[in-house]
Amino acid sequence: MGVACLAMVAGWHGYRIDLPSLRARFNVSTQGMTFVHLMECAQNLKLTGRAVRLELEELGQLTVPCILHWDLNHFVVLKRVRGNEIELHDPARGAVNMSLVEANRRFTGVALELTPTHDFEQRDERKKVRLTELVGKTVGLKAALARIFCFALALEVLALLSPLINQIVIDEVLVALDDSLLVLIVIAMLLMSATQTLIGLARQWATITMAVNFNMQWTANVFHHLLRLPIDWFEKRDIGNVSAKFDTVDTIQDTLTTSILEALLDVLLVVGTLGMMLLYSVSLSMLAFRRALIYGLLRVLWFRTLRRAAEDSWTAGTLESSHFLETLHGMLSLRVNGALAQRESAWRNLNIARRNSQLREHKLAIGYDIINQVIGSLVGAAVLWFGANSVLSGSFSIGMLVAYMSFQGRFSASINGLIDKAFAWRMLDVYNERLADIVLTQKEGGAQAAESITVAFPVQREDRRLLNWKISPSATAREVMISWLERRCVLCLGRWWRW
């Protein structure tokens, strides 16, 4: 977390760099960074550090942003002090507003002020994460997308015919009492419904098949790359963090295969329904169009808040997963040391933090949906009012009003879905950056380095024997000869062993 704090402070001063680049530059283990190491890394970034010891009431005298030692185990960035509240950026929780009373229980009394040196340069060294780099090579994806697009186009044409049929029934059949035309229309509707059902089933099956094949190929590629990363890459990351980053493949894949295809259908529906609405009434169409603009504006205003909530939820879930996996891995030592109760208490706190993050994310989504429903109801009422007046004035028939209302409903649903998917696409940055830490990290060079590791200790005396074994994917350490070297103890763990 110290590296994340350094990235935040350096970014505030104008030097923007991503976390994977910082981790590659500095040797940071899973145990984190010490205060001295933090100052050395800051000096490497052309930032002069001044460590100070102070009381909580003196936080307002610090030059912000600065780094605070927090909870005796990590660092946070102090952004602002306002009266009895402070604003923090916690790498584990995101932006946090906290009272001084609560901060008094967590602040250890040590802070690090960072100021740029005379040779500090403002620059942007963040690596742009391209989706094509994350996906890699996949077989059959373009052909599957083309088939699904054809199915979606056919469904779009059939969907536009349904309101027109309703208009014909109301304005032609009911007014003229034409039974023969009604029978013909009913038969046509049955045929059209059967065709829609068959095409819909074909599209769903093609989507599912493509999603499964795409996920299998992509997951296999990522896992193949993960197994060949340098050993120090794993030493600098928790097992739960690596697992959570690997699981982001499923989230990204779901958005790519599902949301994109639905977005294509939404685009077709938006264009088609808007064109039909303009043929009926330009003024009424502008009402629906304004509603879409308001919906998009709300999305823009709420995007950063929703993104931060998604990041907090992901981080909280990662911390809980790491704690759970490490607990299972160290079960023997925990029982020997009698630390089960302490470990369980820590897990409960992490689980509650994750639930609270998810609850906050759901609250924001619910509040956003309520506002959208209110706006939609107001616009729907306005369209109905002006449409009914058009019928009374004779410029609209009843069938035209019913057809227009159907087109307007489809347009609103499609444009809202398209806006949602556009921001869902932007929200993928939360997961793309995590997955990029795996995919964009260079593999260990050489086939021998990637496939096996040979460990050897030299002979110290004539009666000492050479300890040499090879670990490879197809073999295990079946026999180990342990040599007691001078002042050195060698421990070997394997599936089979004997003296």
Q: Position 86: which residue type?
A: I
**What whole-number distance in Å separates Cα of residue 408 and Cα of residue 4?**
48
The pLDDT score that the predictor gives to residue 2 is: 76
Residue-wise pLDDT tens digits, 259-296 = 777 787 788 888 888 888 888 888 888 888 888 888 88
The pLDDT score that the predictor gives to residue 134 is: 66
**What whole-number distance in Å separates Cα of residue 164 and Cα of residue 275?**
13
The pLDDT score that the predictor gives to residue 32 is: 67
Torsion angle defined by CA atoms of residues 211, 214, 215 and 221, in that order, rounded to the nearest 10 degrees: 180
The pLDDT score that the predictor gives to residue 198 is: 92
Domains and CATH numbers, the chain: 2-124 (3.90.70.10), 141-439 (1.20.1560.10), 452-499 (no CATH)
Residue-wise pLDDT tens digits, 25-66 = 776 666 667 778 888 888 888 888 888 888 888 888 888 888
Assess contact for 480 and 455: CB atoms under 8 A: no
Residues of the chain with pLDDT under 50: 447-499
Assign 3-state DSSP to the chain and report helix, strand, coil percentages, each to 5: 65, 15, 20
Helical pair 340-393 and 398-427, crossing angle rounded to 10 deg: 150
Spell out the alpha helix ranges (H) of 26-97.
35-44
pTM of the model: 0.64
The pLDDT score that the predictor gives to residue 182 is: 82
Q: Which residues contact 498 (CB under 8 A, 6 or more apart)?
A: 479, 480
